[in-house]
Amino acid sequence: MRRKDGDVFVADKDNFHSLIAGEGLIFVKFFAPWCGHCKKMIWDFREAATELKGKATLVELDATVERDLAKKYEIRGFPVLKLFSKGEVISDYKGDRIKEDFIKYIDRALLPYAVECADADELAKFVADNKGKALFIAAKLDKLKSVFRKTSMSLRDVSPDSVAFASVEDTAFLKELAGKDLEADSVLLVRDDESTDVFSDDADAFEQWASVGSLPLYAEFSRDNAGLYTKLDKPVFILFQDPEKKYKDVNDDITEIAKPYRSSGALVFTWTNRVDLKSFAEHVGVADKDPAIVIYEFKSDQKYVFSGDYSKEALKAWIDKFVTGDVSAAIKSAPIPETNDEPVKIIVGDTWTEIVEDESKDVLIEQYAPWCGHCKKLAPILDELASDLKGVETLVIAKMDATANDAPKEYKTRGYPTLHFFAAGSKTGVPYEGGRSKEDFVKFLKENATHKGGF
């Protein structure tokens, strides 16, 4: 039997798959009862369910109870909202968690995901009506049909004014636009500058290709469109600039420099408001620079900062060196402590290699955040552990404030606290995933330390 809370269906493992199997739109909220954001949106979600009756079915599922379903759909935070149809996820919701935005999202989802062009005249009208946008035109799709629909809904939701999707059954209609014959089950991209590209690869690669292809040559990176860039596997060039100041020459230079990189896809080019995104500027280490230029890799949190005197030629040379792998990532580091004689050693970005990767020592390193409750709870345990084992000269217990310092790429933290263990004789660390009592740490060190003496 299907339970309801007002007009919201309550899902569990027994009814979830039957709920999402329908032909229509099923909008699912994965939540946790203790989550503040989930509590805040309860009434917006319920009221949206009432207003959307007949258009979509709204469903909620407690992901802390139905852990297998949460794992299947990769729910790692709360709340997460996904749109289903015929049992498949067709879009991940990225908007604000308010009734009005839920309704707009569903109304957009009800629109055809692509304009069907029956002949060459209809295709020409589609292209003319959407001039200046990134156009994705599907040619007689088969294996790409599902991902094309999902990508259409995703990109249209994030940037509805800059993308348009169409489909044709006769690939001959596309020859003039593409400049060549296209195979069935392929997608033609016509960019805003009328340059083109064709996708006929594996479906798993389509969404990433389309996301990059949908981006303007050089555009603003903002809170509203951040999702377009943060999920890319591509490095993102960012000019941080004050909106009250004019950098026309710099922006003109970047627009020109960006053109050759567009077809290669080596990186994408953006600018951002350094006032609105002050915290991001601080994170990448350029809060005191104006203007500032950074190439940033979101997935690995790697930062490459342009330094030295600015000129168009110098900037282009620096980007060329980045593309060929000849630019080193910047390392954020607090000042090196003048003294470091407490039982738990202080690590900063500039001392990680020297202390953590010292092959003569066994090293247990914690990355923490000053505001993290779990880190605060762990601190006295590590202090006691280090004090008890201070006589073991081959052992180092250490900590690093990961909000003020960068670990090497391989050890970047995604949550707090994060612990790694580096056994003596090796510069490669392994994640520590054991218990967090003093006894748990002692047991682990006895079993895994290279130097066994003193425990």
Q: Which of 32, 38, 190, 268 is catalytic?
A: 38
The Cα–Cα gap between 225 and 277 comes to 13
DSSP 350: G
Known catalytic residue: 117? no
DSSP 326: -
With the CA atoms of 437, 438, 439 and 440 taken in that order, what torsion angle do they form, in degrees rounded to the nearest 10?
50
In terms of Cβ atoms closer than 10 Å to its own Cβ (0-12, 13-18, 19+), residue 225 is: middle
Neighbouring-strand partners of residue 31: 62
The Cα–Cα gap between 212 and 201 comes to 15
Distances (CA, A) of 17 to 12, 56, 89, 379: 9, 16, 12, 44
Q: Which of 7, 10, 15, 35 is catalytic?
A: 35
**Which parts of 91-135 fold into alpha helices (H)?**
99-110, 120-129
Q: Tell me the HSE value of 194 on the side-chain side, using a 13 A CA sphere.
A: 6
In terms of Cβ atoms closer than 10 Å to its own Cβ (0-12, 13-18, 19+), residue 124 is: middle
Q: Residues 6 or more apart from 175 whose CB is under 8 A from it?
A: 181, 182
Helix (H, G, I), strand (E, B), or coil: what is residue 115? Answer: strand
Q: Which of 219, 372, 381, 442 is catalytic?
A: 372
Query: What is the number of helices (H) and of strands (E) in the chain?
Result: 15, 21
Distances (CA, A) of 198 to 171, 188, 263, 437: 12, 5, 11, 56
Q: Which of 375, 386, 392, 396 is catalytic?
A: 375
The Cα–Cα gap between 360 and 289 comes to 40
What is the β-pairing status of strands 302-305 and 292-297?
antiparallel
Q: Are 136 and 153 in contact (CB under 8 A)?
A: no
Distances (CA, A) of 34 to 62, 212, 389, 439: 10, 37, 39, 31
Specify the amino acid at residue 454. Answer: G
What positions carry a catalytic annotation? 35, 38, 372, 375
